[in-house]
Every structure is written in C-alpha cells, then in structure tokens.
Structure 1
Amino acid sequence: MDVEDYLRIFERVAEKKGWRVNPDRELVADFARGLIENRKRYGMAICPCRLVTGKKEIDRMIICPCVYADDDVREYGRCYCGLYLSRDRDPAASVPDRHAKYYLE
C-alpha cells in the first residue's frame, strides 16, 4: 500500500461512517506514511498518534480507525488524531486519550 491507497481508504471510511477527512492534505499524507511505517514495523496499521504497548490485544484497539473514533467524533467533533472530523460540528482543539490507561499497565 502507498500513500494514495490510504487516502482513498480514508475517504471510504469517512463516507461509510458519516464523517469527513481532515482537509489538511499534508497532515493526512503524513498520517498515511505513519500507518505504512507502523504496518511494516508492527504488522498492523496502528495509529501513528498512539504508543504501541507490544500487547496485541491492546494494540489492535488502535488500528486506524481506532475503537475510540466513533465516540470521539460524536463527542468532540474529531477523532483523537484529527484525521476524521464530524460533518455536523466544529472539531475541538484536543481530545482526551481514551487509550492512555493501557500505557501504564
């Protein structure tokens, strides 16, 4: 997969979920490169905004789009990373990391 493949995937996911992709194309392309690197490194397209724990069950929760994305977009108008945005509301400046509790285990 290359960056262009991921850009198409991002658009399809956003369409299916009723979201939109962040209009900052440079940010989105950087995000795609991070997913490509993490896929090579960890064998999973883990969100480049998150820390990998090395525990597969936990790390699977942060494969993009992560398990928290629906709630984050609904509550904050964006996912944690800012890749996906709500169509209905302005995005918050930041989103709490719902996954942080796993970094200390």
Structure 2
Amino acid sequence: ATGETSHLNEVRDRVGLPLYGSPEYPTSLYGTVALAIEHERQIEFALEFHRFFDLKRTDRAIDVMKASSKKSEFDANRLYLPIPQAVLDQNPNLIKQNAGY
C-alpha cells in the first residue's frame, strides 16, 4: 500500500478492521480511494460535523444531501453559512449576505 491507501489502512488497522484492498474490504467497494477515505472520515468523525464540509469540498454536497434527505429540499442556499452582521456593517457596499439569510 502506498500514499493515500497506507494512511487509510493505518486508521483501519488501529481498530482491527480489514485493510483496504483485502478480500473483506475490496477496492471495488467504493470505486476510488478518495471515496473510501471519505467514507472512513464519515465513520471516524460521525458526530463532529465534518461530513458536510467534506461533501462541500468535493462538490458533492447537493447530490448526496438530496439523496439522503426525504423530508426537506436541499439546495445551493444551504451550502453557505451567513456572513456575520459586523462584517456586513463594515463593508456595506462590498459584501452582500449569502442567499437564504
């Protein structure tokens, strides 16, 4: 294992899980090492609110959130946090509040 795979396997080995690329955890399960790492981060940081930002960073947030949210519509307005009012007050002609706020 090299590069990304070795780091992924280091995390999995630490807790006694099958290594990426083994028969119990085949490379075809997620398609790419990046998706396997994303899944590992989802599990490792389950209650720490990293998943949303990982999805934003990989430009997959809207697709994944729409697929997993059955009760509410998820659109681009939900990707951004509000700009603090103090920042808006300091720059009234330069900055507009993010859509949805």
Q: TM-score when scaled to structure 2?
A: 0.29
Higher relative contact order (CA 8 A, sep 6+): 1
The structure where strand makes up a greater share of residues is 1
Q: Considering only CA atoms, is the larger Rg found in Structure 1 or Structure 2?
A: 2
